[in-house]
Amino acid sequence: MISAKFRAFDGGVAMRRLVLAAVMFGAVSGAQAADMPDFLRGSLPAGPAPTVNWQGYYIGGQAGYGSSDENFNGSTSNMIAALLANTTIEAEMQVSQWNLGLGKESARTSGFGGFAGYNSQWDDVVIGVEASYLHGAFGGSSTASQSLVSPAALSDGFFHSVRATSSSAIAVKDMATLRVRGGYAYGSFLPYLFGGVALGNADITRTATVDDHYALTLANAVGSCAVAFCATLSTTQAQHNHLVYGYSAGLGVDVNLIQSGNTSASRLRSTPISTPFALAWATSSDRTECQSRAARSC
């Protein structure tokens, strides 16, 4: 089993439609107010604060820096068991059950992408749908080995000196989400919750090699191939452009930067404070499983 968590924190800016019209409207309104005499300005009754308009289409870009944490423990056990099926060393030394110490790995990398969506607004309640994309090189790799010598001759009459070496690697290059958002507007701030589905594109590679030196005596078994029989078995499994799927959930805040009247011109998207999406997949043939998470600003 391979398990991995991916976290990428990034920020994005979304430009709302009718930006030019909103800016022009604000400039004209400002010019008219500047031409008013002071006593006319002061005599105008104070009106209610304008409601920020979050409704409409939006599109934006994002870039960020993130980390990935992988746990490769036991990721090649099934491969070694199949490689050594019906052999003496597997039956009596249980090579596939050895803890090779592949362990956990961490890596850091950057990513970039974009997002687009649509909001509908009822008073201060905002409901929307959004699609997002993130490209990066999240993942890691690990290599480890272990050796063991049988203290007594096995059932085949030979002493065995066995060395098992394994390596595993995983990389998630492209990730996309489709989710529903719901929020409540507080002036220029829009805190929101979201949930949906996540898809990803992953490459998974695993390799296992077993070297077996065996001889009629223990001294020869631990020696070179000149005095012992030597056998090497190896297998590699690779999955490229493997579709992964999972869920998307979290919360965040959008901030309205520019507004005029009831038209919202530009928005700043903050980094959500929870996990925006997680990917999970499994293959039935070798039970390779992975869980991936990425936290970002969409």
Q: Which two tokens stand for residue 166?
A: 């394994």
Cβ(295)–Cβ(278) below 8 Å: no
pLDDT tens digits for range 97-133: 998 888 888 888 888 899 999 999 999 999 999 998 9
Query: Does residue 77 belong to any structural domain of this protein?
Result: yes
Domain count, the chain: 1
Going by the DSSP 8-state scheme, the letter that residue 97 receives in this structure is G
Query: Does residue 57 belong to any structural domain of this protein?
Result: yes
Q: Which two tokens stand for residue 41?
A: 């300005």
Query: Does residue 98 belong to any structural domain of this protein?
Result: yes
Most confident region among 28-37, 70-79, 223-232 by mean pLDDT = 223-232
Query: Does residue 35 belong to any structural domain of this protein?
Result: no
User: Helix, strand, or coil here: 298?
Assistant: coil
State which H helix or E strand residue 111 sits in. strand 104-122
Q: Which two tokens stand for residue 249?
A: 């959930």
Closest by CA to 148, choosing from 82, 100, 216, is 100
Query: Does residue 29 belong to any structural domain of this protein?
Result: no
Domain ranges, residue 73: 3-18+52-143+179-196+259-294
Residue 277 has pLDDT above 70, yes or no: no
pLDDT tens digits for range 211-262: 999 999 999 999 999 999 999 999 999 999 988 777 788 888 888 876 544 4
Residue 287 has pLDDT above 70, yes or no: no
Angle at 271 between CA 267 and CA 274, to 5 degrees: 135
Query: Does residue 243 belong to any structural domain of this protein?
Result: no
Query: Does residue 43 belong to any structural domain of this protein?
Result: no
Q: Cα separations (Å) of 9 from 47, 65, 194, 271?
A: 40, 6, 17, 7
Task: Tell me the residue length of the chain.
Answer: 298
Query: Does residue 93 belong to any structural domain of this protein?
Result: yes
Residue 146 has pLDDT above 90, yes or no: yes
Q: What does the pLDDT read at residue 143?
A: 92
Residue 280 has pLDDT above 70, yes or no: no
- Integer Cα distance of 229 and 156 in angstroms: 13
